[in-house]
Amino acid sequence: MVKLHTANHRFMSLLVATVLSAGVFGVSSAQNDDAAIANYKSLLDKRLALQTQIGHLELQVAQQEEIIADLEAEVAGVPALRASVRPLVEKMVASYAAEFEIDPPFNASERFERLSRLQENLELNTASDHQMLNRAIGMYEKEVNYGMTVDQYAGNHPLEEAEGRRGEGWRAKACQESLKNEACNVTNEMREAIKEKTGKELEDLDEDNERDAANLKLLTEKFEQERKFLDGNYLRVGRLALIYADVDGEEVFRYDVTTRRQVGEPEAGGEAAPDGRVQEWIPVEGAQRINLYRAVKMAKGEAAPDVMAIPVLVE
């Protein structure tokens, strides 16, 4: 009996151990399955990400190949393009030169200098094709900008001297006679320079005194070199209006573009030029002269801003 009981006990212990082992093995197997599934899912996600990245790279490569093809086509066309640049610039310059001749003469010196420099480059071939093209385009851009800005600048009388009318350089003549000449219109800036040089006010200088006379002569030469004796000021309103006014407002002119673009008999208020053309600069009188002179002063910042009526260029 004792041996049977012992055998039963051992059998039961073995059975329990077997069952426990099977349970532990089952739990371990399930954990391994979950880990494998998770790893598989991670691999699928990585594969999808790589496929997306490859797709983006393929798109970029395709775009770059298109760019390369376009650049190769442009490079192939460079010789023909370069051959066409110079004739294009020559045509642009010729067109501008023709228009310049009949255009209102605003900012004439700087515009003419720009045109002459480009014409010289073409004639002497002193600049590369792309430099000449850039300068020609820059010249056109500046011309366009003139139509979008308001400007005032100092300059001489637009006409030659005639009976009953001042002419180019009238103020310089007055100043050369004497800085004390009322027509010289000595400015505050010039007065300060005179006082700094002589230690006296302009009115206190004696032209009969040798020292004062010598100082006045030196100052006159200095002011003339610095272009202080210009006759008046020009007011340009875009490409719509061009006005000239003497520094003292005695003579005011408006520019009439139609008379520069045609030859004919003088119109009412016009003046025949020596070659038979109607004078482009029309004198302005009365209240309009005062108003336009004030408009010039406003543009210089020497008068309070106000709304002004400006006669426009008509074609």
**Interval 16-21 mean pLDDT:** 53
Confidence of residue 32 (pLDDT cuts 50, 70, 90): confident
- The answer to whether residue 177 is domain-embedded is yes
Report the percentage of the chain scoring pLDDT > 70.
81
For residue 75, give both structure tokens: 């490079």
Per the rule left: phi > 0, alpha: psi between -120 and 50, beta: everything else, 185 is: left
Q: Is residue 85 part of a domain?
A: no
Residue 259 included in any domain: no
Residue 119, Cβ density class (10 Å: 0-12 exposed, 13-18 middle, ≥19 buried): middle
> In Å, how far from its chain's centre is CA 203?
45
HSE-up of residue 301 (Cα within 13 Å, Cβ side): 2
Determine, yes or no, domain membership for 255: no
Q: What is the DSSP letter of 201?
A: -
Residues 190 and 223 sit within 8 Å (Cβ to Cβ): yes
Interval 74-102: pLDDT, tens = 777 667 667 788 888 899 999 888 888 88
Q: Token digits for 102?
A: 């009949």
**Against a cut of 0.75, is the pTM above it?**
no
Question: Is pLDDT larger for residue 279 or for residue 298?
Answer: 298
HSE-up (13 A, CA, CB side) for residue 100: 19
Which amino acid is present at 200? K
CB of 197 closer than 8 Å to CB of 215: yes
Q: What is the pLDDT of residue 129?
A: 81
Specify if 12 maps to a domain. Answer: no
In a domain, 192, yes or no: yes
| C-alpha separations of 51 from 108, 256, 272 in Å | 67, 74, 85
* Helix or strand run (H / E) with residue 299: helix 286-299
Q: Which residue has the higher pLDDT, 65 or 257?
A: 65
227 pLDDT exceeds 60? yes
In a domain, 4, yes or no: no
Q: What is the pLDDT of residue 214?
A: 94
CB atoms within 10 A of CB 37: 10
Domain count, the chain: 1
Give the other-Cβ count within 10 Å of 227's Cβ. Answer: 11
pLDDT of residue 70 exceeding 50? yes
With a cut of 60, say whether residue 190 has pLDDT above it: yes
309 within some domain = no
pLDDT tens digit string along 137-185?
999 999 999 989 999 999 999 999 988 899 999 999 999 999 999 999 9
| Res 127: pLDDT | 81
Residue type, 130: H
Q: Are 191 and 201 in contact (CB under 8 A)?
A: yes
Looking at the predicted structure, is the pLDDT value of residue 275 above 50? no
Q: What is the largest CA-CA distance in the chain?
A: 164
Distances from the Cα of 109 to the Cαs of 105, 135, 154, 158, 228, in angstroms?
A: 9, 17, 12, 13, 17
Domain of residue 200 covers: 170-225
